[in-house]
Structure 1
């Protein structure tokens, strides 16, 4: 397959939107249903390089912050095993998440997956020099040769840290750089940074109820050729509380959904401008439900509108 760079991706995106032609289901701009081939993973394309990325990743906020508790570490190891078995690659963390990076590194070593995944972590400090140390510390904690994606966490001291990240990327020490926000905060500032700096990724909150990013940030990401990671896909647990005791709509069968987690996640990753969603869980069974969203048919635009209407009606 010919590798696609950011410029080619943007041109192809513009042509697709202008003609109304949908691209392949494996492209970032596709929301067409996949064939009902359960062995086929739903992937998206990273615009900067053309690299394919499974559209469900894994968050680690709270769930992997277990310290030296050996029982909890074993549970994390089983969760990560289920993640990989389900086809996942992108693992997201941060120095802010306590012992999560260390525990991820431990689990990767136990599973012999140190360099067989997509590592995404963050720099989170007000000081540039401390940020550079954090980056190297993260690499050691994960036990990897190179961090795939390094992000500025919640835009903290973003000017200083993007300088460092750009330099480290140029030196080949990290592959991709990006910025993050959550809870719908600081969208205007994120938009300005997207307009003026060359980013590979942004991370923001997007789910069936939190859709503020649709108005400006997602279209801008498409225009600029920036991949988008969706955090808080379940509003922590609020979406599950909303549907507690409710059965899935009968129409969910059309997109091969058997659990609410699949339903919520397929809504997110079928958006043409979302590259990956990063649900977090501390239960193996829930991880298996999450990863099931990578397979089967995906909702098109019309079906997504129906899903939205169904959820808003609950």
Structure 2
């Protein structure tokens, strides 16, 4: 069997932030030098979640992680492996030789300074480098990345997303925090109000930004994008439910997106979600948020 030669970046890559970006850029560089395919090896769920049995909230779905690696950094192949019993108990040596080299054609590996792998996390960057030398593979270990004196990490970015600070999150991510999902049917109240919305739900274990209203940029299936006003929350003015949804009014759009996948990128938080005394008061506030959104993108287009 002739395997395609790959340069593989190793990690979980939640958020695909600037620290991950350093790995991915090196991976693409090495792949170019070696005439190989730049790839990522990652898991479908966090190993820590499987080991501890406690759900771990994530910045992105697996699909968004893969899309960000491809779209922003030029990774061509994303290997999304199940983290199951066999993976959890695999000796670290076999992880390299049997999985990465024999099954996925690795000729060069790239990992972060704190990367651990294999049974009981016994593999570490030093052992990875030693094994690569023994096998005749190349290996790069990427040091930590800092910004404003803060180590760029998924843990820190999760706290920013949870707080609704999507602007600072974008600074550390290197891109806007995003959610890609299929549009589902809502309660059609927006259409009744004359402000129709597209509705998304968060996948299980994916963090919702703090409840509130956000300026967003929404990418449609054909690649075009529109400004949006997005409410993350339970719609307390019109609903007694507790399920958190993502409702977006698309500026200057008239069409049907039900069943289509769209990407919502969070630009700026405008306000908390609140319960209004009347639907008229809600409509007035949404109109004000639409004005703020137009001003935001008008200012953005004149910068730089």
TM-score normalised by structure 2 residue count = 0.29
Q: Which has the higher contact order (CA 8 A, sep 6+)?
A: 1
User: Bigger radius of gyration, 1 or 2?
Assistant: 2
Larger strand fraction of residues:
2
